[in-house]
A and B are shown apart, each in its own frame.
Chain A
Amino acid sequence: MGMMESLAQLREESEAKLNSCRSPEELEQALVDVLGRSGSLTSILRTMGSLAKDERASVGAFANKVKAALEEVVAEKRAALGEIAKQRRFAAEALDVTAPGAVATPLGRLHPMTQTYRLIRDALVGMGFSLFDGPEIELDDNNFTLLNLPKDHPARDMQDTFYINENVVLRTHTSPCEIRALTTLTPPFRLLMPGRVFRVDEVDASHSPVFHQIEGFVVDKGLTLGDLKGILDSFVHAVFGEDVKTRLRPSYFPFTEPSAELDVSCSICGGKGCRVCKGTGWIEILGCGVTNPHEIANCGYDPKVWTGLAFGLGVDRMANLKYGINDIRLEYENDARFLRQF
């Protein structure tokens, strides 16, 4: 048998051997057996020295072809075996993706009131408002008298007050911040005053002696009732969406003149009338108006020069509306099953 024949036979035998391998290890061993230092191809090639020069060249070329062919077979086989191994692993490691996730500490929850407050705040900050803070326990002067509510003013009965002493009260609204702003800052300004307020209201589904307000207060030259309408419209649309309708209607507060209340179309029934809006299709969300000139004058500014616009809204009420919460008591019970929903 000539060398060429031996090589051809070797190629055939080796291909069969390589192809029959069943694992990567077996394949690597077979590779060594054929192409390794003492493999069968190598040993054939070692005998090439005995050939004639011209024959040596053609046999050498053929031998290289055989070697390349075998290497190709090995590469293919290697890839095939690797693929099988991967598939096996995938099958063995398949997971139930519907089983629950696990983190060491699941996220906690921000109270819905905090979330609502931030929503309102962000809408107003976008309109150029900055934040301003005042104390929860206030001077009667700041809470009432300087706001045009002197002692014995009948409208004081509108807000039943917790007293600490004759001159100190739990603030009944965030409006005393207006006095603090007017006496410590220099207008013009646009302020946002969030805070906790207190009224002698027995607890029930819609009343709480502790609740939260955000006061908006703008003082500048040449402001108008139209500007107030403009601020409130954009703010309501930011919080409740563009589809919500607003209605600014006359009302009375001692610290504004003209005074108004803002209604929004009921988000529960879309304005058709339901239990939440008491069948009217509207829900009152805030009181507002042009700042009473007495208040501006009480703080040392000329009301014919400086105009104020003010509005005060109840965060609790807004949160309840926003999330469809039907009982204000839930806001202060801190039941985790309630908080988890937000």
Chain B
Amino acid sequence: MKLPKKWLCEYVTFNVTNDEFVEKMMWRGFECAGVEKELAGVEGVVVGRVLSVSKHENSDHLHICDVDIGSERLTIVTGADNVFDGALVPVAVVGAKLGGREMAAVNMRGVTSYGMLCSGEELGLTNADYPGSEVHGILILQEDYPLGQKIETALGFDDDIFEFEITPNRPDCISVIGMCREAAAALGQSFREPKIRPVRGEGNAADYARVSIENYDLCPRYTARVVKDIVIEPSPAWMQKKLKAVGLRPINNIVDITNYVLVEYGHPMHAFDLACIHGSHIVVRTAQENEVVTTLDKRERPVTPDMLLIADESRGVGIAGVMGGLNSEITDATKAVLFESAVFKGSNIRATARKLRHVTDAASRFIKGVEPVGAELALERAIELVAELKAGTVVGAMIDVKKETPGDREITVGVEHVNALLALNLSAREMADMLGTIGIHARPAVGGLHVTIPHFRTDIESGIEADWDIAEEIARIYGYYNIKPTLMRGDTFRGRVDELFRLDDQIKDTLVSLGLYEMYNYNFTSPSVFDALLLPEGSELRKAVRILNPFGEDQSLMRTTLIPGMLDSLVRNANRKSGHLRFFEVGNTHVDTGAELPEERKKIGVVLGGEGVDFYLLKGMIEELFRAVGVKDAVWQASGESYLQPGRAAQIRSESGEQLGVCGELHPDVAGSWKADGRVYVAELNFAAIAQSRSADKRFEPLPRFPAAERDLAVVVDAGLESIVLRRVIENAPAGVIVSDVRLFDTYVGLGIPSGKKSLAFSFSLRAEDHTLTDEEIKRAMDAIIDALQASGAPLRA
């Protein structure tokens, strides 16, 4: 919302600096995004007089001017031919800014030019702004302005334009009138609200046109007036200047009037050429099947039966609230005009504009909300302007089609309740006075504060929310800064980080202590990753949730696994030589189960690349993680995930069979799809399964009182044998003593071992609860273990 200061000053006494004003408005809930100059991009251009013009010796087309800018005389070279001795011109001196460019002294064929003479176009001016602005060459000023004066001041283009951001609850403030009302209150000034002088006109509009509404739900009120003997011409300079100040392009008097009223009162209007309305009958109806309306922007737009049209007796002449039709456009030949000022249902306009992908300024106003009294005010204001501009002969009587006459809404607000919400202690009288400053009439009454909601405050509810709405108004006026911070009272609460959040912390902290960096990847993924992961048809990981309106196909799915995103980031790190290729991520994945909401699965991903990584490093990290969070006795089994290298993939289950996760080396084809160099190891663990499988109990076991004997031995077995089998054999051998800490410490294939075989070396401890083992006991235990291994097909290595 652009609010020109000069326009504001017509209705409000402005007695502060711009910065103070901006701050006061901020405290009222109106954020100012910036203050623009009316003559945008022009800075440091001053009035100067050309004392003399001489030809440049080294050029056919350049002239050297001696220019007086009051404080000094400058030599300026120009290429324009229209300057003459004594001409008054705009001068961009060294250091001035013009269109984002800063002026510097430049050497032009041997002569230094200390600045530039400006054309009207360079200043952004047209003939309507200042006569002669559009001539070819330098702008020659007509009046005798003081030398050295800023050009924007000299020409009267020195306004400041405040750009306010209006929150969606205040559509009334997307208008000069609405903002002036609030600004006056913020400045502690009275609001000199303009009074519209109704124009009676001659005759009766009903003799020229009639209006029917077929759908009152979508159009609760339609007002119109007729103006005949129209003279289409440019609007006057003052109106053009104001329109341009708020960024609108002047077109002609009739269109400019509707735009001007839009800016001033915030209500969109439309002007139809009455001669083009068949049957002189406006019908507000929904579109028929296969109907097409060509709008003012010359585009043919197919419309659908859920859209509201403004039609005549034979065709659509506009899409209600969005854009008028080309067939009834105001042209230079227009003789009679029907001004429309109506209320259309915002949600319907929103749907229409979105469907047509055409959210016009008018449409956005209807979407944000307009109201029936405002419609009438806007129409009367437009007619007043028609009369003032002598744009035509106003015909008497307003056409007004509506179901019910809008009345004032009355509410009673609980004074105590408002005070309680705001921690204040105001009387009903004080509240009434405060509300009065923003045009809300209120008076103390039995049971609270009686409030008459003004027609323009559509945001204030008469229902359940009324107390809160008024509380907000009171808080705004009282000043949020005046409300004292307090400590909550009531029961004491025990704040805590619940178990699952604590587990999240524990997992992340453990993985960090293992040297991993934490990643945050997007949830969006491409359908192509499933093939890249070689996932079989029907894999659960293919059951991704699809986004209806994604950025693109490659971001159209919600991830079902963390791995693809992590690989993207891993490869990016490798390419950038970031120096670290070990990462984890904890994040949600989603699987479409057919239920209304997909299943959300929190996962923990690990990716390892670069030097010194292998399967057992990754496995070791996962084992450490399990130890840290209390998952005991996880079972590791060889498995066959499609994206992992066969023979180097494992599934991890809890003792009770929970699927804890998968782990392995990335399949070379998958690594190839990601252009990953070298071997990459990945794991993906299920957060919920870990949460369920952990036991937080830590129980003390007495330390052994007698020393253990450390022993080791090596056996030769088939190369494919899983070492866990032999570990169990050793643990369960009838050794007669306690066998513990069985650990595979070496695997050997090569010289001395037959092909197809491997040597496995285990270490373990032997001890007894109540005495130090004798040599004899140790020998018996070792014999029992060796026999058991032998019996399992694992003879001692010779």
Contacts and interface: CB of A to CB of B under 8 A. Distances in A.
Partners in one complex: yes
Interface of A: 105-111, 113-114, 118, 121, 124-131, 133, 135-139, 151-152, 154-155, 157-158, 162-165, 167-168, 170, 188-190, 196, 198, 200, 202, 209-210, 218, 220-227, 229-233, 247-252, 254, 257-260, 290, 292-294, 297, 303-304, 307, 331-337, 339-340
B500 interface: yes
Interface string B505-516: 100110111111
A163 B597 contact: no
B517 A339 contact: yes
A250 B472 contact: yes
Contact of B480 (A163, A222, A250, A254): A250
Contacts of B549: 162-163, 200
Given A222-B489, A258-B475, A251 B167 contact: yes
Given A131-B497, A229-B485, A257-B471, 16 more contacts: A105-B515, A110-B509, A113-B520, A131-B501, A137-B598, A157-B367, A209-B524, A224-B421, A225-B480, A226-B485, A227-B488, A250-B29, A252-B167, A293-B464, A335-B573, A336-B580
B512 A251 contact: no
B549 to A, nearest CB: 6
B170 interface: yes
Interface in B461-510: 464-465, 467-469, 471-472, 475-476, 480-481, 483-498, 500-501, 505, 508-509
Contacts of A202: 551
A163 B486 contact: no
Contact of A225 (B475, B518, B523, B598): B475
B518 A111 contact: yes
B250 to A, nearest CB: 30
Contacts of A250: 27-29, 472, 475-476, 480
A147 to B, nearest CB: 13
B268 to A, nearest CB: 15
Contacts of A158: 168
B518 A293 contact: no
Contacts of B587: 196
B475 A154 contact: no
Contacts of A136: 523, 588, 590, 600
Contacts of A258: 421-422, 468, 471-472, 475-476
Contact of A114 (B168, B518, B579): B518
A125 B497 contact: yes
A224 B420 contact: yes
B480 A165 contact: no
Contact of B465 (A135, A196, A231, A293): A293
Given A229-B486, A251-B29, A155 B168 contact: yes
B464 A332 contact: no
Contacts of B763: none
B576 interface: yes
27 contacts: A108-B511, A121-B497, A130-B494, A130-B497, A133-B500, A136-B523, A136-B590, A137-B590, A137-B600, A151-B347, A154-B346, A162-B548, A163-B549, A164-B546, A188-B493, A209-B522, A209-B524, A226-B483, A229-B485, A251-B167, A258-B471, A290-B421, A292-B468, A303-B464, A334-B572, A334-B573, A337-B579
B657 to A, nearest CB: 26
Interface of B: 26-29, 167-170, 346-347, 350-351, 367-369, 417, 420-423, 464-465, 467-469, 471-472, 475-476, 480-481, 483-498, 500-501, 505, 508-509, 511-524, 545-551, 558, 569, 572-573, 576, 578-584, 587-588, 590, 596-598, 600
Given A106-B515, A131-B498, A336-B517, A137 B597 contact: yes
A336 B578 contact: yes
B518 A110 contact: yes
Given A136-B523, A168-B596, A129 B495 contact: yes
A107 B369 contact: no
A332 B522 CA distance: 7
A162 B549 CA distance: 6
A188 B493 CA distance: 9
Question: What are the 6 A-B residue pairs with the smallest beta carbon separation, nearest first?
Answer: A152-B347, A128-B493, A250-B29, A252-B167, A336-B580, A226-B423
Nearest to B504: A114
Contact of A168 (B423, B491, B581, B597): B597
Contact of B483 (A152, A155, A229, A257): A229
Given A114-B508, A229-B484, A210 B350 contact: no
B495 A138 contact: no
B420 A222 contact: yes
A233 B484 CA distance: 11
A interface: dominant SS: mixed
Given A136-B588, A334-B572, A225 B489 contact: no
Nearest to A200: B549
Contacts of A131: 496-498, 501
A232 B486 CA distance: 10
Nearest to B487: A230
A314 to B, nearest CB: 14
A152 B346 contact: yes
B495 A163 contact: no
A130 B495 contact: yes
Nearest to B509: A110
A12 B259 CA distance: 125
Contacts of A339: 517-518, 580
A73 B523 CA distance: 82
Contacts of A190: 488, 493, 495
Contacts of A121: 497
Given A124-B495, A137-B600, A230-B485, A105 B468 contact: no
Nearest to A253: B167
Contacts of B583: 334
Nearest to A212: B520
B518 A108 contact: yes
B520 A332 contact: yes
A307 B423 CA distance: 13
Contact of B569 (A108, A162, A223, A334): A334
Contacts of B170: 252
A196 to B, nearest CB: 7
Nearest to B598: A137
A252 B27 contact: no
Contact of A259 (B347, B472, B481, B493): B472
A320 to B, nearest CB: 13
A135 B545 CA distance: 14
B469 to A, nearest CB: 6
B447 to A, nearest CB: 14
A252 B598 contact: no
A251 B597 CA distance: 33
A209 B552 CA distance: 13
Contact of B351 (A113, A152, A198, A331): A152
Nearest to A121: B497
